[in-house]
Structures are given as structure tokens and as C-alpha cells.
Copies of this chain bind each other. A is one copy, B any other.
Amino acid sequence: MKKILNDPAAVVAQSLLGLAAAHPDLLRVTTDPAVVSRADGPRPGKVAVVSGGGSGHEPLHGGFVGPGMLDAACPGAVFTSPTPDQIQAAVSRVDGGAGVLLLVKNYTGDVLNFETAAELLAADGVDVRTVLIDDDVAVRDSLYTAGRRGVGATVLVEKVVGAAAEAGADLATCERVARAAVAGARSMGIALTAPTVPHVGEPSFTLADDEMEVGIGIHGEPGRRRERLTDADGVVAALLEPVLADLPFAAGDEVLLFTNSMGGTPLLELYLAHGIAEQSLVDKGITVTRRLVGPYVTSLEMQGMSLTLLRLDDELTRLWDAPVRTAALRWGA
């Protein structure tokens, strides 16, 4: 294992200290429990939007905390769900009395722990709702999931819901926006190499020099199939076709195209793939009106990429365009 770290067991806490140091004006960070919250929270009368999940997917979720996006995030250990008390702590730090929306990627551990936290919060009188994100069309069920996994759409859902909450939407509206974004989003990913979890010390799997894993999860969990690594046209087609077929997306749709690096794939390759994906959508009569390109939902240093499509309407477009100020996503502010 070649990594820049001290004690592998302390990697998340020590990384959070660096995140806090880098963004003192934006973030408040604690390591026990591990919570990243807005420096200006709680904000009375505002719906609090909270997410979290295993670490190793940075900038997800802590990099998306700030005005116009998340109020708080609770990072678990690498590829490990946050605990219920940690989720409670995150919520209590930003609860402004107008209700709390939990955005949860659909993995069994996350779902259970957020459910437990939601019950405890409800018992304390907090008006809490939960929306599951399940955009990955690659597999129906897996080692970590019942139903589809939550992957790239997470950043899109967090952005639009955060914008709604920032603009003063009530809890029911925020929940409706979240469900609309989840309903309109589909993703699929591919891996060329495996990630190495620091406390494990070995790659999560092995791929031959000429192989790719199609439908990879963001924890390095298996996808649909292994096959010979194709060229970029083949990779994009292998991702885009199942995504398009699933919703399905159709000619005339307006979409946001999110081309995501899993971490180790450089921008040179990522933009190349993005260009191919845009042209493919044009050819199918689908109009790309918004884009996001970069490493936003990663799997440590894994080489690979994912494509996410979000069907847009006027409301989602407006919420996407609204100002945001976070460590990883920022515009208009």
C-alpha cells in the first residue's frame, strides 16, 4: 500500500482536521463524533439538510457542506456507515427547528443507521424525513444493498435540495424536490483499477491488465461483468446505454450530464469521455443543458468513471443554478 498517511485507523479523523484547517470560514468540524457542519449553523427557521456515509468518496459528503447545499455531513470510517449517534450529533448541530431532511445513499448499513437515528430524533420531537438515493442501474441487489445502490446522483440531489432549503422551502417541499431528483436520475460506473482501503492495506479486488469491471460500485464491489477494456467510445457506450434504457430517457428530454471520475482517472481522460457522452446524447435527440465534470463521488484512488443523467425541468434547473459555496462545488457566491 502506497499512501500518504500516519495511523491508518485514524485516517478519517486526521483528514477531517485538514478539511477544517482548509476551510475555517466555511466549516465547523469535530472528530468525536465525526461531523462536518456549516460554520454559520444552525439557522433558525431553515430546513436542515444532512447527509453522510462511509469515507473514501471525497469530496462527498463533507466537501458539499455550506450555504446552498448540505448543513451537515457525518463521515463514517472508510467505506463504513456512520453510526446512529453520530447522525444524531450531526442533526443536533444544525437543526433550526424547521425540520430535517436526511439524504441517504441506499446501502443496507446506511439505511439502518439513518433509520435508527431518525427514530431517536423523532422521539426527541424533531420533524425528520428521509429520502433514499438509488440511482445505480448496474445491479438490483448486491453485497451491500437491497435494491439499487446510491452513487453519482447523490451530489445532484444534495445540490438541488440544498438550494431549495436555502431559499426557505419547507420540509415537505424539500422532500418533494429530493424525490423528484432521485426519480429522474440514473447512473452507472466502470473501474480500471481497484481502490485500497487504508486499514486493509491491499487492493479491494484485482483486474487483469486488459480488464475492466462494468457496473462497479463506489466501494469496489462487483458490477455486472468483467470484460476486456475497450476504447473510450466503448466505455461510454457501456455506461450510457443501460442508463438511458432504465428510466428511460428519450428524445426531447433535457438533462444534466454528470461525468464523474472515481478518483484516479485524470481530467484529460474524463473530459474526453464527457465529450463522447455529450455527442451520443445529441445523436439521440437528448439535450444536455447542464453539466458537471470531475472527481466528485470517488472510490479512493480507483481509476474509473461513472455517468449520471438527471432529467431536468424548470424547477430542478433553477435549483441547480442557484448559488452554492462549499469546499468542492462553488458558484455565484
A interface with B by C-beta (< 8 Å): 2-6, 11-12, 14-23, 55-56, 58-59, 63, 78, 192-193, 209, 212, 229, 231-233, 235, 259, 263-276, 278-279, 288, 291, 293, 295, 298, 300-301, 303, 305, 325, 327, 330-333
Contacts and interface: CB of A to CB of B under 8 A. Distances in A.
CB-CB nearest 8 A-B residue pairs: A18-B275, A18-B271, A58-B267, A18-B274, A21-B278, A17-B275, A15-B272, A2-B192
Contact of A232 (B4, B63, B265, B300): B4
Q: How many copies does the complex hold?
A: 2
14 contacts: A4-B265, A12-B268, A14-B276, A15-B267, A18-B272, A19-B271, A21-B278, A22-B259, A23-B291, A58-B266, A78-B268, A265-B301, A325-B331, A330-B330
A44 to B, nearest CB: 27
Q: Which of A6, A16, A59 has the most CB of B within 10 A?
A: A6
Contacts of A301: 264-266, 303
Contact of A21 (B63, B78, B229, B274): B274
A273 B18 contact: yes
Contacts of A232: 4-6, 14
Most central of A192, A233, A301 by chain B CB within 10 Å: A301
Interface centre among A2, A12, A295 (most CB of B within 10 A): A2
Contacts of A271: 15-16, 18-19, 22, 58
Instruction: Name which of A14, A271, A273, A291 has the most chain B CB atoms within 10 A of its CB.
Output: A271
A272 B14 contact: yes
Given A22-B274, A331-B330, A267 B14 contact: no
Nearest to A288: B21
Contacts of A300: 266, 268
A55 B269 CA distance: 11
A196 to B, nearest CB: 10
A220 to B, nearest CB: 13
Given A4-B305, A22-B278, 14 more contacts: A4-B270, A5-B232, A14-B275, A15-B275, A18-B271, A20-B275, A21-B279, A21-B288, A22-B259, A22-B293, A55-B268, A56-B268, A264-B264, A266-B301
B4 A235 contact: yes
Contacts of A332: 333
Nearest to A262: B266
Contacts of A266: 56, 58, 263, 298, 300-301
A303 B2 contact: yes
B58 A291 contact: no
A267 B298 contact: yes
B275 A21 contact: yes
Contacts of A193: 2
